[in-house]
């Protein structure tokens, strides 16, 4: 397949550096490595075309090389602005993977890349990280959906978007969402995503957690992990939820449960983990204490409605990179920290390869599962089949040299 590379990634001088980055990441991803070896032998994806809408970083490149080893033809494009590493793109293009990427970070350019990737690849399977690829195609080029058998999404935002399409009976094919997979919770979030959110936030804001009231909006797996970390740091944790079962779970875990509007009155730090836009709006900000810190951790911006906050503020300034201050008419200050770094600070290796190993390995197996079962599945949003999650856990144990008992041993 002829590799296509746009913008700066067609510079051959970048190829060697990109390959070094991919090799480094690959050495830290033993589970995905085992799947790559298996795919290379069995060629379960031979003849398939797969489109990946993922951040163009070293770990995602390792997923691409795994799918390529399984016989697939690939096209990969960054899943949004600020997610393209030119060296990684150059290395993938040199190795026969079609790369659609540009340095331009405008939203319209990102949409154009997604459409170009689909027109170029005409895929049978897709990885739609945040659910934005399907929405773009439905609104701009519905004809490009015809050959797609199904796909995989990873994030909470992807889950919400795809679930909405399913309820509206507009989901064009089955999709597996990794967000609620056991491996995503036990390793990916607890050991990777959540600690990195806390580390970056505390370093940027100089916020002292011990003794403070931390409000967590949303008690899904990300929210639960963030709440656990807050308690470990000495905070009093309040949880706001719309799901009764999750609210009960938060209470049984030792958290105080209340409505977000009530929690806004007492919180020193409010963290959104819902993935839903406008979780915190002007009606909440109007109630907050002076000096409160707000942090949105969802995969897409908009959990905090900054437009409504700006409407009730008399001034707004940037305190430091990624930290904004809004002053209200009565002199109170509200600070907002966005857990996603600004473009000037974004790096290609946003996630630690070792932490993303199980996530990307699960993506690879989910794509294989989708290809083998798509004709028996409805147009619905699916959780990861338990057997796949269990298989990833077994491979992880093998990679660390750990053995466990079998039921017959007890």
More reliable by pLDDT, 302 or 87: 87
Please give the average per-residue pLDDT across 204-219, as a whole number.
92
pLDDT computed for residue 220 by the predictor: 84
The sign of the torsion formed by the CA atoms of 295, 301, 304, 310 equals: positive
pLDDT computed for residue 102 by the predictor: 67
CA 17 → CA 83, 234, 354, distances in Å?
17, 43, 20
**pLDDT digit string (tens) for 38-90?**
999 999 999 999 999 888 889 999 999 999 999 999 999 876 555 567 889 89
Among the listed residues 199, 204, 232, the one whose alpha carbon sits nearest the alpha carbon of residue 352: 199
3 pLDDT band, cuts 50/70/90, is: very low
pLDDT computed for residue 350 by the predictor: 46
pLDDT computed for residue 316 by the predictor: 95
Among the listed residues 361, 357, 385, 381, the one whose alpha carbon sits nearest the alpha carbon of residue 372: 385
The residues, ordered by sequence, that sit 6+ positions from 19 with a Cβ below 8 Å of its Cβ are 91, 94
As a whole-number percent, the residues of the chain with pLDDT over 90 amount to 53
Sole residue written with tokens 């051959």: 12
pTM recorded for the entire structure: 0.71
pLDDT computed for residue 39 by the predictor: 97
Please give the average per-residue pLDDT across 344-351, as a whole number.
40
Please give the average per-residue pLDDT across 178-205, as a whole number.
68
Domains present along the chain, CATH in parentheses = 7-183+347-399 (3.40.50.1480), 207-298+302-339 (3.40.50.720)
Query: Residue 349 and residue 93: Cα distance in Å, rounded?
Result: 18
Residue pair 88/23 in contact by the 8 Å Cβ criterion: no
Q: Exposed e or buried b for every residue in 151-177, given b needs 16+ CB within 10 A?
A: bbbbbbbbbbbbbebbeeeebebbbbb
What ranges in 169-297 are assigned the alpha helix state H? 182-183, 194-205, 221-232, 244-252, 260-263, 282-285
Strands 313-320 and 323-328: antiparallel
Q: Report the SS3 class of residue 54.
A: coil
Is residue 105 over pLDDT 60?
no
Number of CB atoms found within 10 A of residue 258's CB: 17
Please give the average per-residue pLDDT across 379-383, as a whole number.
92
**Six-digit token pair at 330?**
């009565």
CA 226 → CA 7, 194, 217, 233, distances in Å?
39, 6, 10, 11
Please give the average per-residue pLDDT across 251-280, as a whole number.
93
What ranges in 215-342 are assigned the alpha helix state H? 221-232, 244-252, 260-263, 282-285, 306-312
Weakest-pLDDT range from 242-251, 282-291, 332-341 = 332-341
Sole residue written with tokens 């033809």: 73
Please give the average per-residue pLDDT across 224-228, as a whole number.
89
The total number of residues written for the chain in this structure: 410
- In 273-380 the beta strands, taken as DSSP E runs, fall at 292-296, 313-320, 323-328, 333-338
Please give the average per-residue pLDDT across 2-19, as a whole number.
64
Query: Residue 299 and residue 322: Cα distance in Å, rounded?
Result: 16
Residue pair 355/386 in contact by the 8 Å Cβ criterion: no
192 pLDDT band, cuts 50/70/90, is: low
pLDDT computed for residue 6 by the predictor: 46
CA 63 → CA 32, 51, 70, 88, 253, distances in Å?
7, 12, 11, 12, 36
**Six-digit token pair at 105?**
């970070």
Is residue 25 over pLDDT 50?
yes
Is residue 178 over pLDDT 90?
no
Average pLDDT, the chain: 85
Please give the average per-residue pLDDT across 86-114, as a whole number.
80
pLDDT computed for residue 117 by the predictor: 86
Is residue 5 over pLDDT 50?
no
Query: Residue 16 and residue 94: Cα distance in Å, rounded?
Result: 10
The residues, ordered by sequence, that sit 6+ positions from 294 with a Cβ below 8 Å of its Cβ are 269, 270, 271, 272, 280, 285, 304, 334, 335, 336, 337
pLDDT computed for residue 156 by the predictor: 66
């Amino acid at each position: 397949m002829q590799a296509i590379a746009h913008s700066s990634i067609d510079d051959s001088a970048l190829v060697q550096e990109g390959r070094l980055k991919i090799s480094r990441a690959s050495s830290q991803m033993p589970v995905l490595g085992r799947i790559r070896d298996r795919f290379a032998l069995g060629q379960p994806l031979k003849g398939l075309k797969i489109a990946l809408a993922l951040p163009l970083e070293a770990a995602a490149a390792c997923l691409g090389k795994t799918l390529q080893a399984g016989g697939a033809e690939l096209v990969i494009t960054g899943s949004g602005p600020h997610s393209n590493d030119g060296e990684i793109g150059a290395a993938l293009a040199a190795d026969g993977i079609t790369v659609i990427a540009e340095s331009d970070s405008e939203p319209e350019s990102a949409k154009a890349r997604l459409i170009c990737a689909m027109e170029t690849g005409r895929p049978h399977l897709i990885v739609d990280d945040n659910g934005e690829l399907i929405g773009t195609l439905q609104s701009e080029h519905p004809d490009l959906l015809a050959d797609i058998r199904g796909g995989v999404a990873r994030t909470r935002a992807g889950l919400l978007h795809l679930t909405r399409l399913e309820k509206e009976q507009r989901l064009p094919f089955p999709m597996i969402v990794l967000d609620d997979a056991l491996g995503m919770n036990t390793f990916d979030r607890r050991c990777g995503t959540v600690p990195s959110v806390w580390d970056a936030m505390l370093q940027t804001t100089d916020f002292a957690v011990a003794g403070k009231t931390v409000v967590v909006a949303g008690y899904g797996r990300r929210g639960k992990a963030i709440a656990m970390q807050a308690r470990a740091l000495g905070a009093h944790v309040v949880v706001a939820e719309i799901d009764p079962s999750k609210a009960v779970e938060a209470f049984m875990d030792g958290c105080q449960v209340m409505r977000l509007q009530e929690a806004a009155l007492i919180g020193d730090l409010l963290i959104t983990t819902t993935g839903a836009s406008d979780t915190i709006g002007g009606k909440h900000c109007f109630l907050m204490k002076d000096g409160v810190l707000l942090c949105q951790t969802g995969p897409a911006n908009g959990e905090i409605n900054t437009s409504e906050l700006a409407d009730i503020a008399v001034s707004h300034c940037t305190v430091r990179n990624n930290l904004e201050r809004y002053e209200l008419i009565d002199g109170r200050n509200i600070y907002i920290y966005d857990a996603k770094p600004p473009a000037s600070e974004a790096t290609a290796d946003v996630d630690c390869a070792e932490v993303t190993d199980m996530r990307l390995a699960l993506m690879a197996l989910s794509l294989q599962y989708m290809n083998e079962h798509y004709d028996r599945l409805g147009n619905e949003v699916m959780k990861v089949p338990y057997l796949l999650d269990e298989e990833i856990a077994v491979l992880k144990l093998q990679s660390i040299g750990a053995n466990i008992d079998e039921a017959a041993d007890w």
